[in-house]
């Protein structure tokens, strides 16, 4: 089969088309003929040598795919409601940039009705991440306010739509007026251009009622570093800060007194190394609570660009430019 592999750690041009043996599904797994592969920030980190592959995972990059089931553990598939020939999308620990990919049955979801494989391939990584962190870890509730750092990212556009669908008020930050406008068009109540305004001060203004700033209930943070101190300042009492990436650095100083007085929770997580059981539980929750929103059109995939698999280097260069709004997807029919 054809794959895209990392020939050496470095710039996007280290990505190469290559030939590899077809993977063989084991117990509890199925084999997908891949039509489309989603691109995510961890793929870039893996390419640069900054995101080690978990033990037992493929060294081929790619954490999400969509396509058709060609074989697998039939009892496990039947128990999950799948059979050979079904169209599915899947979250995988690696191996997604390939014509064939093995996935645990529990991490597979049916392609939502009416969706293309390109649209379906844009879903797993961001939807699993947002559901796990915003709704299960930070337990965002109807009527609360969510601040999303990086609202135009793949994670951001997903979090905006799901949070709004569940009755939250959404504030986002983004790096240009164009990106801010795109976030508002997706449903965000307010968008702050972090290059021209201090997000913490703007959040305080936006959450002020009768002269008192309430703050936001939940923050989804992909920056960390120097952002954390300001995020603590603009959290409401009993607020929850969830850190899911550290693009701004791994170290932060915070006002511990504010953490105590406002009873704040500062937490974080990474998805890739979590157990099959953990990810299977997320998949079940998504299928029950979020997939109907996709099929009704209440939540929609946001695809910025697609690239033929042979142009994976161009796709990674676009992601690193931060010029995209939404997801970038590789396709295999043009190889």
pLDDT digits (tens, 9 = 90+) for 277-292: 999 999 999 999 999 9
pLDDT digits (tens, 9 = 90+) for 290-304: 999 999 999 999 999
Q: Does the fold of domain 127-268 match that of domain 2-123+272-331?
A: no
Q: Which CATH code of 3.90.180.10, 3.40.50.11540, 3.40.50.720, 2.40.100.10 fits the domain covering 2-123+272-331?
A: 3.90.180.10
**Which DSSP string corresponds to 5-70?**
EESSSSSGGGEEEEE-PPP---TTEEEEEEEEEEE-HHHHHHHTT-SPPPTTS-SS--SEEEEEEE
In the chain, domain spans: 2-123+272-331, 127-268
Distance CA 308, CA 168 (A): 37
Q: What is the pTM of this model?
A: 0.94
For residue 247, the SS3 value is: coil
- Helix count (H) and strand count (E) of the chain? 12, 17
- Distances from the Cα of 284 to the Cαs of 80, 107, 149, 176, 332, in angstroms? 10, 9, 27, 36, 28
Quick check: helix, strand or coil at residue 190?
strand
Rounded Cα distance between 16 and 34, Å, is 18
Evaluate if residue 219 carries a pLDDT over 70: yes
Per-residue confidence (pLDDT) for residue 335, from 0 to 100: 38
CATH number of 127-268: 3.40.50.720
Answer whether residue 175 shows pLDDT above 60. yes
């Amino acid at each position: 089969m054809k794959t895209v592999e990392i020939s050496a750690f470095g710039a996007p041009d280290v990505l190469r088309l290559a030939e590899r043996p077809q993977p063989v599904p084991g117990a509890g797994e199925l084999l997908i003929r891949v039509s489309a592969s989603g691109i995510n920030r961890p793929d870039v980190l893996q390419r640069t040598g900054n995101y080690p592959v978990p033990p037992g995972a493929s060294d081929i990059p790619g954490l999400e795919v969509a396509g058709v089931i060609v074989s697998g553990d039939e009892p496990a598939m039947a128990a999950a409601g799948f059979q050979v020939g079904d169209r599915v999308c899947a979250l995988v620990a690696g191996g997604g940039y390939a014509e064939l990919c093995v996935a645990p049955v529990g991490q597979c979801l049916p392609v939502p009705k009416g969706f293309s494989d390109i649209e379906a391939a844009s879903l797993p990584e961001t939807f699993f991440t947002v559901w796990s962190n915003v709704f299960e870890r930070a337990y965002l509730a109807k009527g609360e306010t969510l601040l999303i750092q990086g609202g135009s990212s793949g994670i951001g556009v997903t979090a905006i739509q799901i949070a709004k669908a569940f009755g939250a008020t959404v504030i986002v930050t983004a790096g240009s007026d164009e990106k801010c406008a795109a976030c508002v068009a997706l449903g965000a109540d307010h968008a702050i251009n972090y290059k021209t305004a201090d997000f913490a001060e703007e959040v305080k203004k936006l959450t002020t009622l009768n002269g008192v700033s309430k703050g936001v209930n939940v923050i989804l943070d992909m920056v960390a570093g120097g952002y954390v101190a300001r995020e603590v300042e603009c959290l409401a009492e009993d607020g929850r800060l969830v850190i899911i990436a550290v693009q701004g650095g791994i170290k932060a100083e915070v006002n511990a007194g504010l953490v105590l007085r406002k009873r704040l929770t500062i937490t974080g997580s990474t998805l890739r190394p979590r157990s099959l059981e953990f990810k299977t539980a997320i998949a079940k929750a998504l299928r029950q609570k979020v997939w109907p929103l996709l099929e009704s059109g209440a939540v929609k995939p946001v695809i910025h660009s697609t690239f033929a698999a042979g142009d994976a280097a161009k796709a990674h260069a676009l992601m690193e430019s931060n010029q995209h709004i939404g997801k970038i997807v590789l396709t295999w029919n043009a190889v």
